[in-house]
Amino acid sequence: MTVQEKLTANVVVDTNPATGTAVAELSETNLDALPQMLDKARQAQAIWATKSFKERARHIQMMRSYIVDRADDLARTISESNGKTLTDALATEVLPCALACKWYAKNAEHYLKERNRPVGSILFFNKRTHMLRVPLGVVGIISPWNYPLSIPFGEIVMALMAGNGIMLKVAAATPAVGRAIEQIVAAGELPEGLFQHIVGSGSKVATGFFDNGIDKLFFTGSVAAGKTLMAQAAKTLTPVSLELGGNDPMLVLEDADLERATNGAAWGGYQNAGQSCGGVERVYVVDAVYDQFVDLLAKKTRQLRHGIGCNGFDVDIGSLTTAGQLRTVQQHVEDALAKGARIEAQSRPVGNVENGFFFPATLLTQVTDDMLTMCDETFGPLIAVQRVANEEEAIRKANDSNLALTSSVWTKDNKRGRAIAAQLQTGVTTLNDHLYSHGLSETPWGGWKESGIGRTHGPEGLEEMTQAKVVNWDTLPSKRNIFWYPFDQATYNGIKNALLFVFPSGVGQWLSASLKLTPFLVKKMFTGWKTGD
């Protein structure tokens, strides 16, 4: 029985979260077929790994052409499946995917090619070392629903350029985007079975991956789910890369350009209905410009329009993607209001928003550190602004979090901004901007603390898709190393002289050690072990 014949009749329906209407149906994968699927992927990967970087790049470039040619269709699929606007889908998903294809196709060889490692000590003058980056084999990717195309596809391109096979599981809420990814990859004309898309429960698929020896798992999702997966992976010591979200701070100093800062806050906090792990959630504004900042951001928040994102271009913010996420946002707002927060401004609805998971863009003030929105990731169109006395207080509050993905500093003094950035405990800090570096293929993405482990994107992301391998050899036809058997007093003295030759207390000691070491080296390395036979 073939893998395709083992597909079940179970159907997964992709529903537009903005309208409640079905947009696609996909057959759920029978996980009993997972061993066969992995075997097929391994066979294809063995072929793929023999291809040069130039050959792999040619396949990636075919995918890029498909993405560019069908950009409108892809944006619509994302919008209908996820709830974001068409413009959001194009700008933050389709465009970054095309850019990723170009960057990794062009640069993978530079970062993953075989490299010479210089000799570290004169004592090993006869040794040479090359460092190799070897493909992992077949990697698993479990991706989220907030960026259902750009997050998994970037990892797909990295994995392919590094020589791996791929098993992809997209979020249950956005399976239609998974099917779109299938079509993109098919345009690359890869070896059959190298890439496979699995439809089904994330936890069951992850268990299947671990049980069947996946070589590494790349997961983007919640902290709780990431911890569960890491515990599972520990049983087989399967390596994992985890990107688990953030509660990202934005620091606004007294010399900030408030026009740009409020524009950036609105973008970073409300884009994708706030469902960005690297989005603005906590804003710390120094007292001198607090009132002006809030007044300006409130005006802009009121001008924003939320509505059905796939219907046209008169909407700025779409719907949330799941009912559960809508409940979380509602709970965070209710908690804040109960503890004394104030709603300064909200966006206005456009069209019929009764049937979707909509929540208006909301600006909160008078927030305190004990509120859920300040302590946890809200993952919704909610910006909480707090007044601070100075930059020192802003830094302290920004770092007081178990999540540490990204942060931003807003000041006209770049030198000052970089100094503050160095003190912020996050994987990424941007100056006078926020929520864009995920789209820079050359920059690594990932956080500290409970925001995850490992990195994707950039040279570091490519390296995460490989194993490091050392190849070391002799350049001289020696018989023995100086520390090999047999041991005697001469061996001890020779090694001691080697130590003093490398770390002498003065010129005299160095000269003495070198004169004694040379004949010992010649005798030890170039004569055999006399056994007396």
Quick: pLDDT tens for 95-106.
999 999 999 999
Confidence of residue 532 (pLDDT cuts 50, 70, 90): confident
> Among 71, 76, 435, which Cα is nearest to 271's?
435
Provide the mean pLDDT of the chain: 96
The whole-number pLDDT of residue 176 equals: 97
Quick: pLDDT tens for 357-388.
999 999 999 999 999 999 999 999 999 999 99
**pLDDT of 130 strictly over 90:** yes
Confidence of residue 8 (pLDDT cuts 50, 70, 90): very low
The whole-number pLDDT of residue 432 equals: 98
**pLDDT of 3 strictly over 70:** no
Predicted TM-score of the model (pTM): 0.95
Average pLDDT rounded to a whole number, residues 458-483 = 96
The whole-number pLDDT of residue 5 equals: 39
Fold of 248-440: Aldehyde Dehydrogenase; Chain A, domain 2 (3.40.309)
The whole-number pLDDT of residue 55 equals: 98
Provide the CATH number for the domain formed by 37-119+126-244+460-469 in this structure: 3.40.605.10
**pLDDT of 4 strictly over 50:** no
Alpha-carbon distance 283 to 252, whole Å?
A: 7
The whole-number pLDDT of residue 2 equals: 37
DSSP state of 245: -
Quick: pLDDT tens for 275-306.
999 999 999 999 999 999 999 999 999 999 99
Task: Indicate which residues carry an active-site annotation.
Answer: 243
> Among 291, 297, 288, 280, which Cα is nearest to 253's?
288
The whole-number pLDDT of residue 530 equals: 86
Per-residue 3-state assignment (H helix, E strand, C coil) for 485-531: CCCCHHHHHHHHHHHHHHCCCCHHHHHHHHHHHHHHHHHHHHCCCCC
The whole-number pLDDT of residue 243 equals: 97
The whole-number pLDDT of residue 9 equals: 52
The whole-number pLDDT of residue 201 equals: 86
Average pLDDT rounded to a whole number, residues 349-359 = 96
The whole-number pLDDT of residue 32 equals: 95
The whole-number pLDDT of residue 533 equals: 61
**pLDDT of 6 strictly over 90:** no
Average pLDDT rounded to a whole number, residues 468-488 = 94
State the DSSP string of 321-347.
Answer: S-HHHHHHHHHHHHHHHHTT-EEEEE-
Average pLDDT rounded to a whole number, residues 422-435 = 98
Average pLDDT rounded to a whole number, residues 88-117 = 98
How many other CB atoms are found less than 10 A from the CB of residue 468? 9
Whole-angstrom Cα Rg for the chain: 28
Strands (E), 244-324: 248-252, 280-286, 305-307
Quick: pLDDT tens for 220-259.
999 999 999 999 999 999 999 999 999 999 999 999 999 9
Average pLDDT rounded to a whole number, residues 311-335 = 97
Average pLDDT rounded to a whole number, residues 488-495 = 96
β-strands 362-365, 248-252: how paired? unpaired
Percentage of residues in the chain having pLDDT higher than 70: 98
**pLDDT of 85 strictly over 60:** yes
Quick: pLDDT tens for 174-191.
999 999 999 999 999 999
DSSP bridge partners of 252: 285, 410
Q: Where are the domains of the chain?
A: 37-119+126-244+460-469, 248-440, 479-526
DSSP bridge partners of 26: 12
The whole-number pLDDT of residue 531 equals: 87
